[in-house]
A = this chain, B = another copy of it.
Amino acid sequence: MISSHQAQCLLAAAQDKAKLLNVPVNIAVLDGAAHLKAFVRMDGAVLGSIDVAMKKATTAALFQTTSESVWEYCKPGAPAPALEISNGGLAPFAGGLPLKGARGELLGAIGVSGGAVSQDLEIAQAAVAALSD
């Protein structure tokens, strides 16, 4: 499972990237069972993104994949319509990433929301890269 030290490392790297991009975001870090481990709302981040950051991270943790991957299952014409309303509501778009350990085991997940979806993803990726350093 993810440690407090790892969670703080993720939050720090994500905030550094967000400042570079000049976009305030919400950042949620969950453990591998989708329980909240750490969270930060940067000054100026919109309130509506608190829940979105949580749901992106939850989506990544519960399905052990990127949040946007879940959309491949439930988008129009895909085999699992309405999958997004399961589990209290998923966020099947980019910005949620699973966190894997050295042997591929699930450590947890991170979810970022507040910027453009592409920025949210970039910030989450910067955090994950910092974790594996």
B-binding residues in A (CB < 8 A): 3-4, 7, 31, 33-43, 46-48, 50-52, 55, 59, 61-64, 71, 73, 75-76, 79-94, 116-118
Contact = CB atoms under 8 A, between A and B. Distances in A.
Contact of A71 (B4, B81, B86): B81
A41 B118 CA distance: 29
B89 A51 contact: no
B89 A42 contact: no
11 contacts: A7-B40, A36-B50, A46-B63, A51-B87, A75-B81, A79-B93, A79-B116, A79-B118, A80-B93, A82-B92, A85-B89
Most chain B beta-carbon contacts within 10 A, residue among A64, A81, A86, A89: A86
A50 B35 contact: yes
Contact of A83 (B37, B87, B93): B93
Given A33-B33, A63-B48, A43 B4 contact: yes
Contacts of A79: 93-94, 116-118
